[in-house]
Amino acid sequence: MARMHARRKGKSGSTHPIRKKHPEWSSLNPREIEARIIELGKGEKSTSEIGMILRDQYAIPDVKIATGKKILQILENNNIKSDIPEDLRNLIRTALTLRKHLDTNKKDLKNKRNLHLTESKIRRLTKYYHAEHRLPKGWKYSPAQAKLMFD
């Protein structure tokens, strides 16, 4: 697949090892895994942070194989989800740090271009999430509103 903002081809992403069932050496059963996910979700952890904690501390290689559901599905079933999806939230944080950098370094043209590219990704993602009904209808990205949300 080609890169989004560059005129070159990219490498494909990493692949998970083919595994059909939950390994025997993992210590937790599916109910305990879901309980840990709910506990971490209430502790304001993102889905990727929850996955890394489960992998590193509890030796759970793949939540979907173990429970049959993804981490986000488990959180949504228990009414623990953020109003803004995680990938969009991360892009907004990136745009805010770029804006902050450009306030002090006005002639940094590479970062100015990077800000344009990041904000176009944000707009593209909001369009997708509006179509998927994962964002409220009136939600729109603006740098001033984003600064208030994350400061």
- Rounded average pLDDT over 9-31: 81
**Cα separation values, 85 from 71, 90, 109, 111, Å:** 13, 9, 29, 25
- Rounded average pLDDT over 109-129: 96
User: In the predicted model, is pLDDT for residue 119 greater than 90?
Assistant: yes
For 127-150, how does the pLDDT look when each residue is reduced to its tens digit (9 = 90+)?
999 999 999 888 999 999 999 988
Higher pLDDT, 119 or 3: 119
**Cα separation values, 144 from 4, 95, 127, Å:** 26, 11, 19
**Cα separation values, 102 from 41, 82, 93, 129, 143, Å:** 34, 29, 14, 28, 13
Q: Give the E-state strand segments of the chain in sequence order.
A: none
